[in-house]
Amino acid sequence: DTAVSQTPKYLVTQMGNDKSIKCEQNLGHDTMYWYKQDSKKFLKIMFSYNNKELIINETVPNRFSPKSPDKAHLNLHINSLELGDSAVYFCASSQALAGHNEQFFGPGTRLTVL
């Protein structure tokens, strides 16, 4: 059983399109995250949710909108895709919000915008 799963694994799309990436965790965790791996391979936090409530919202364009229908899911919707959105996006979860909880990462979604 995959603890944190993301779909799709690869996403190739045209500029201007709208797309979603789904994330699910079966660990019973309260907190979920979206990270973007930038061109220098840094992992940078985009959003975190705790019990479906938005906690961290980094300076991400408002074309990116996370949605958490329940504790086990955190989806990422991206409107009007741009070339610069091409990256690998990772979902993660942790037992609780506190920073001493290890995070469990999904396999990543490689987004390519043409």
Interface with other proteins (CB under 8 A): 4, 40-45, 48, 55-56, 58, 90, 97-108
Distance between CA atoms of 104 and 14, rounded to whole angstroms?
A: 31
Q: What minimum distance in Å lies between the beta carbon of 84 and other proteins? A: 20
Q: What minimum distance in Å lies between the beta carbon of 17 and other proteins? A: 26
What are the CA-CA distances from residue 46 to residues 1, 14, 90, 114 (Å)? 26, 22, 10, 22
Please list, in sequence order, all residues whose beta carbon lies within 8 angstroms of the beta carbon of residue 42, skipping any fewer than 6 positions away: none
Q: What minimum distance in Å lies between the beta carbon of 3 and other proteins? A: 9
